[in-house]
């Protein structure tokens, strides 16, 4: 199972972007792994002291367990990643990675199960985000009608990420149909599709595909 950090999934913060109130939440998802295996998933956002927030995504299935966390700062609506941790276990295979974003030095580094050429450093720029933060960024910027263009610094590289607005669609949340804005990003053999419902702090659905096949499908069940 691929990490949501690669395509998907939270909050990019550009200095020019409108302020978006950060509030704690816990969201439960119904998940499908590799197109068939059922799983439980949860997203949560909680205060981490001062101006920092801890954002966590966990997915548990019979074939894989994933936990990703990001600590980011919110300085008057300007967000930036501080640290990140990825832990994945697939049957007998395990992976553990950690990211550090040193804004004083202006560089990001990675440790753990990473290749030497992915350890960094990568030079940071204002507005950079990690892949986890894309989820919140999309929710914020779709609501504001902003362009969905981001610079993602993650897994030892910096990449431009641009999502296309595909218009309105219907998504089921907790058994009820809801009107959503559907956005998508495609690069090489991978595609990420995200459904954003007005008023919800998290995506109503996140679908990752590779080679045209579903890899991970998260459907929101409840948020509190």
Per-residue pLDDT of the chain (224 residues; tens, 9 = 90+): 444 443 333 333 333 334 467 899 999 999 987 766 788 999 999 999 989 999 999 998 887 788 999 999 998 888 999 999 999 887 778 899 999 999 999 999 999 999 999 999 999 999 999 999 999 999 999 999 999 999 999 999 999 999 999 999 999 998 899 999 999 999 888 899 999 999 999 999 999 998 888 888 999 999 99
Q: Mapping DSSP to helix (H, G, I), strand (E, B) and coil, where does residue 70 land?
A: strand
Number of other residues whose CB lies within 10 A of the CB of residue 11: 28
The Cα–Cα gap between 193 and 207 comes to 5
What Cα–Cα distance (Å) separates residue 175 from each residue in 124, 221, 224? Answer: 42, 8, 16
Position 203 in a domain: no
Q: What is the model's pTM?
A: 0.85
Count up the domains in the chain and report the number. Answer: 1
Question: 153 is written with which tokens?
Answer: 């610094």
Helix (H) or strand (E) holding 90: strand 78-90
127: closest CA among 86, 66, 177, 78?
78
CA dist 220 → 2, 14, 37, 123, 202 (Å): 19, 27, 17, 35, 9
| Domain span holding position 47 | 25-163
Inter-residue contact 131 to 154 (CB < 8 Å): yes
In a domain, 121, yes or no: yes
* 127 is a domain residue: yes
Distance, in Å, from the CA atom of 178 to the CA atom of 223, rounded to the nearest integer, reads 14
Measured between alpha carbons, how far is 85 from 167 in angstroms, rounded to an integer? 34
| Strand, coil or helix: 17 | coil
CA separation (Å) from 7 to 40, 72, 175, 195? 20, 19, 27, 14
- On whether residue 85 sits in a domain, the answer given is yes
User: Which has the closest alpha carbon to 135: 107, 163, 175, 101?
Assistant: 163
Tokens of 159: 């990449």
Apex 190 CA angle, 149 and 3, nearest 5: 85
Domain contains 143: yes
Whether residue 219 lies inside any domain: the answer is: no
Q: How far is CA 222 from CA 27, 173, 206, in A?
A: 6, 7, 14
- Reading the block at residue 78, the tokens are 């300007």
**In a domain? residue 64:** yes
Is residue 132 assigned to a domain? yes
Task: Kindly report the average pLDDT of the chain as a whole number.
Answer: 88
């Amino acid at each position: 199972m691929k990490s949501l950090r690669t395509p998907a999934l939270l909050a990019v913060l550009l200095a020019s972007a409108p302020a978006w109130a950060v509030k704690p939440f816990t969201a439960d998802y119904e998940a499908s792994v590799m197109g068939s295996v059922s799983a439980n998933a949860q997203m949560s956002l909680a205060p981490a002291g001062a101006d920092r927030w801890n954002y966590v995504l966990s997915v548990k299935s019979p074939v894989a367990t994933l936990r990703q966390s990001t600590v980011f700062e919110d300085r008057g609506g300007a967000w930036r990643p501080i640290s990140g941790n990825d832990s994945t276990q697939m049957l007998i295979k395990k992976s553990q990675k950690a990211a550090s974003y040193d804004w004083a030095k202006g560089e990001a580094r990675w440790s753990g199960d990473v290749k030497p050429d992915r350890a960094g450093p990568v030079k940071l720029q204002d507005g950079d985000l990690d892949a986890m933060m894309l989820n919140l960024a999309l929710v914020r910027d779709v609501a504001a009608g902003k362009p969905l263009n981001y610079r993602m610094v993650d897994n030892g590289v910096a990449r431009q990420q641009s999502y296309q607005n595909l218009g309105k669609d219907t998504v089921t949340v907790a058994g009820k149909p809801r009107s959503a804005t559907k956005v998508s990003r495609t690069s090489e053999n991978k595609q990420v599709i995200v459904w954003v419902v007005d008023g919800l702090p998290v995506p109503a659905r996140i679908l990752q595909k590779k080679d045209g096949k579903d890899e991970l499908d998260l459907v929101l069940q409840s948020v509190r």
